[in-house]
Structure 1
Amino acid sequence: MKNIILIIWVFLTVVCDVNAQQEKGIFGSSNWLNNWTEFKPGKADYGEATQILAGTITVNTRLTKKDVYIIQGNVYVTNNAILTIDPGTIIIGDSESKGTLIITKGAQLIAEGSETDPIVFTSNKSLKKAGDWGGIVILGDAPINKFGNYSSINYDLDPSLTTYGGLNPASSSGVLKYVRIEYAGKKIKGSENFNALLLGGIGNKTILENIMISYAAGDAFEVLGGEPVLNKIISYRSSGIDFKFTLGTQAKIDNSLAVRTSYLTNNSGSRCIDVSSYIKKEEADFTKKQTVVTATNMTLANDSDNIDTDIKSGLVKEAVFVAENTSLVLRKSVISGFNPAIILDNNIELAEKNLKKIRLEEIYFNFCQGNIFMAGNLNNEDLESYYGNSVFFNLYSKTTNLETFNDFANPRRPDFRLALTKFTASAK
């Protein structure tokens, strides 16, 4: 009887331990990427445009699935108008005019697709590539940490229509759900690339779920202040930063994915997560909240046929960068195939009060050339010792993507959930 009880206890312990490990990274009882995502968007045929979007939209407007729309130039939604996009609608960004959609402060974008009928923003080129068109800008009145509470977007846009920031953290700029944004991030002459999706001063009542950005030439998601809540967000093979948070953002991001490739990058730097409190320190108001990002169940993976060779060749950079005067809580996440996994700004003093603001817990570090470093410092013994403490429950391994994930190389329906039953991870 005692032996039977012991066997049952061991079995339950193993099952619970495996389940706990599998909760790292993106999760779900089924693969939530199925049906609405597209990992080969260059081969998709969306048809020719039948309607033009141009100029300024000042009244409530609906885009329907029966038409294909093309964004020509900078299209502004103003005057507190609501732009509603029906499930399954296709919107094409014009390359020649840098087609860009701007939802101004007070206006809303209601783009609520479905799992079987997503809304798609894509390129008008027959041979599509990163940076074919501008992107989407959504501006709200939630707090930012710049002096005066307000700022405006540059990118060769109208500054009188691109202000953001305010005093309403619970505001709503609308809904983005089951939406794909492909090949955005066009280069601006004499400046940088547009970002695929720029969120400025977005309030926490804005719904941001099931959004896939693929092949962005600039940053995929850039968040400037506000209090956004993001869930099931994907950045796939973007050239810039996948998830960038700054200007006092109080952000939560959960169950989300960034897949990079060693051969795509841009001059301003490329990594999965970038957390900072300001762009220019002299513009930051330190009486206001500085950036705090809570990221749970993130999967950050470098897609490479030979990660070890790419790392040795210098093609791979860090996955996460944390600047001074910020806070990052990264939990139950997977970081696979980077050099190294995480870099901390060298202006951060290695004191307990600062490290308490950078919480790295239950992380699965896989195939990284080093785990946690200070920028420009090759000696990371103190950081490895601190975050390697068993109280953080961090695990370490060195396996290929094919072994690490359920179905990493599937060209149409990949499954990036962790497959820890295939191998053994260690506490160090």
Structure 2
Amino acid sequence: MKKITLSSLFFLLVFGNLVAQQEKGITGYNNWLDTWTDFKPNNANYEEPTQILTGNISESTTLTKRNTYLLLGDVFVTECATLTIEAGTVILGDYKTKGSLTISKGSRILAEGNPTDPIIFTSNRADKKPGDWGGIFILGNAPINTFGKVASLNYGLNPSSTENISYGGDNTNDNSGILSYVRIEFAGKKTKDFGNFSGLTLAGVGLKTEIDKVMVSYCQGNSFNILGGEVDLIKAVSYRSNKNDFNFNYGAQSNLNNSLAIRSPYISSPDGSRCLYVSSYDLKEDADSSKKETNVIARNMTLINVSDDLKSDISVGLVQEAIFIGPDVTFTMSKSVISGFKPAVIFDEKIVINNENLSKIKFEYSYFNNCKGNIFLKNHTNNDDLESWYGSRAFDNVYSKGPDSETFIDSHDSRYPDFRLRINKIIASNDLFDDEEDD
């Protein structure tokens, strides 16, 4: 009986270690990045297009795996039509016409790939570059916080009707469809008057819309751009975006769960680019104060800046903050990892540092690693008040230093990296940088 008891205990200990998960950062018993992601998308070769998509798609249409499709110019799904895309289908954005796809309000997209057969949106150029084509816009009927119920996209799109680029309404449960196991590569075309497109724009999208396991890589604009609406993102991946990885604005109400942003200091935009940019408006006078301000809840996030020499890259100004928080927003980050930034977080200088405002912005149970500074007010070098607030035991944050090779399970695998934290590798310590070096 004693042998059985000891054997059972040994089995439980071994099994417990095998299935244990680090609770901070992206989590899962297995590396959920396996198989469907691609961290070297320029190496992929696809068949020549067999079908062309152009103009309006006004009737429900299915794109099949046996064909390769070309987005020629600005393509719109209109008239409440549904665009269904089979698993494994490849859609190429045309470089010459800067192809884009817009799912107009009332229409839907059903793009459901699977782990071994993801749906791929990418450039049609042999030597693919960021900004080769436009991106994907999904427009819904959920609330936004501008005056009036409806706004229009202002990106220089050429619809046959302005209704095809309008978004916003009063249906929080609006359903614009499903994106699951989808990759969006080399999007973000630059326009003269409207800046860059984003890889995936969700404008006024409602809660019934499902965004799960979507990877945006090498985008010249924002990877994910959420404009108003109420939508959740699960296991979203942004890789080497030139602008922001996740951009929230216009009263967006979003949960961002178990998601990953991987930045490179060598390709980020010099005019500002962060893992998370959270704002309620561009101009305060354009926002309706009677409507909801932006509210983002981010859980189990991993935000990492991959650098060959972090100290050097910071010293020459290549590294920025991971998160920027604008005024009049509510934001919570919990059980997350922020690694390799200067600093980890910046608040807009218009935010008055008082109990009322800080109670709306929470960082809790999170891990700050290798950051030169943690949380600052923009244009202020003294952050003692913020350090005291967020460093209290009530928030249970951890501050540490450690190379990526020891912090993450396998961040250097070029094909299927694993950015989950190593079990029990969190060790509280001082910053990577000495206090006297802080600016």
TM over 0.5: yes
Corresponding letter in the other structure for 1:83: L
CA distance in 1, matches of 2:203, 2:227: 5
CA contact (8 A) 2:92 2:122 kept: yes
Q: Is the 8 A contact 2:401 2:429 kept in 1?
A: no
| 1:402 Cα offset (Å) | 1.4
Deviation, 1:419, is 1.1
- Given candidates 195, 198, 221, the residue that maps to 2:198 is 195
**Secondary structure of 2:172's aligned partner:** coil
Asked if 2 retains the 8 angstrom alpha-carbon contact of 1:395 and 1:427, the reply is no
Match of 1:131 in 2: 131
Aligned to 1:38: 38
Q: Which moved more, 1:28-37 or 1:393-402?
A: 393-402
Which residue in 2 is equivalent to 1:61? Answer: 61
User: Structure 1 pair 151/285, CA: closer, same or farther in 2 (3 Å)?
Assistant: same
Structure 1 position 409 matched with structure 2 position 412: yes
Letter of the structure 2 residue corresponding to residue 49 of structure 1: P
* Aligned equivalent of 2:316: 313
Q: Does 1:381 align with 2:384?
A: yes
Q: Which residue of 2 aligns with 1:421?
A: 424
Query: Within the alignment, does 1:357 sit opposite 2:339 as a pair?
Result: no
CA drift at 1:400: 1.2
In the alignment, structure 1 residue 279 sits paired with structure 2 residue 282? yes
Report matched runs for 1:151-166 at 5 Å.
151-157=151-157, 158=159, 159-166=162-169
The number of equivalent residue pairs is 415
Would the aligned equivalents of 1:393 and 1:427 in 2 still touch at CA under 8 Å? no
| Residues 349, 379 of structure 2: 8 Å contact kept | yes
Q: Aligned partners of 2:329, 2:139: CA distance in 1, in Å?
A: 23
Amino acid at match of 1:171: D
Give the distance between the partners of 1:420 and 1:308, measured in 2 at CA: 26
State how 1:201-350 maps to structure 2 within 5 Å: 201-266=204-269, 268-350=271-353
Gapped runs of 5+ residues in structure 1? 1-7
Superposition deviation, residue 401 in structure 1: 1.2
- Using the TM superposition, give the Cα deviation of residue 178 of structure 1 relative to its aligned residue in structure 2, in angstroms: 0.2
What SS does the aligned partner of 1:384 have? Answer: helix
Match runs of 1:83-98 below 5 Å: 83-98=83-98
Structure 1 residue 19: deviation in Å?
5.8
Letter in 2 for 1:388: G
TM-score (norm: length of structure 1): 0.94
Q: 1:371 aligns with which of 363, 371, 374?
A: 374
Percentage identity across paired residues of the two chains: 52
How far the C-alpha of 1:311 sits from its partner, in A, is 1.3
Structure 1 position 188, deviation (Å): 1.1
Question: What CA deviation, in whole Å up to 9, does each residue of 1:96-127 have, x standing for no partner?
Answer: 10100000000000000001100000000100
User: 2-side partners of 1:420 and 1:320: how far apart?
Assistant: 25
Shift of 1:266: 2.3
In the TM superposition, residue 268 of structure 1 has moved relative to its aligned partner by 4.5
Amino acid at match of 1:247: Y
Question: What is aligned with 2:399?
Answer: 396
Amino acid at match of 2:307: S
Q: Name the CA distance, whole Å, in 2 between partners of 1:385 and 1:93.
A: 49
The answer (yes or no) to whether the contact 1:86–1:119 under 8 Å persists in 2 is yes
Taking the aligned partners of 1:88 and 1:413, their CA distance within structure 2 comes to 19
In structure 2, C-alpha distance between the alignment counterparts of 1:266 and 1:233, rounded to whole Å: 21
- 1:266-323 deviation line (CA, Å, top 9, x unaligned): 2542000010001221110000100000000000000111112211221100000000
TM-score under structure 2 normalisation? 0.92
Secondary structure of the residue aligned to 2:257 is: strand
Taking a change above 3 Å as real, the CA distance of residues 423 and 227 of structure 1, as seen in their structure-2 partners, is: closer
Query: Contact (CA 8 Å) 1:404, 1:420: kept in 2 or not?
Result: no
Whether the 8 Å contact between 2:27 and 2:300 is mirrored in structure 1 is yes
Looking at structure 2, the residues matched to 34 and 182 of structure 1 have their Cα atoms a distance apart, in angstroms, of 17
**Superposition CA RMSD, Å:** 1.7
Kept in 1: contact 2:222–2:247 (CA 8 A) = yes
1:15-67 superposed Cα distances (whole Å, 9 cap, x missing partner)? 99x968x1100000000000100000000111211110001000000000000
CA distance in 2: counterparts of 1:35 and 1:204, whole angstroms: 28
Task: Provide the secondary structure at the position in 1 that maps to 2:208.
Answer: coil
Within the alignment, does 1:180 sit opposite 2:186 as a pair? no
| Alpha-carbon distance in structure 1 between the residues aligned to 2:46 and 2:129 | 15
Q: CA deviation at 1:427?
A: 9.1
Retained in 2: the 8 A contact 1:260–1:301?
A: yes
**C-alpha distance in structure 2 between counterparts of 1:132 and 1:352, whole Å:** 46
Q: Which residue is equivalent to 1:5?
A: none
Distance 2:144 2:280 in 1: 10
Q: Which amino acid aligns with 1:346?
A: E
Q: Distance in 1 between matches of 2:52 and 2:270?
A: 33
Structure 2 unmatched runs, 5+: 1-8, 432-439
Q: Secondary structure at the match of 1:391?
A: coil
- Write the distance in 2 (CA, Å) between the matches of 1:403 and 1:376: 33
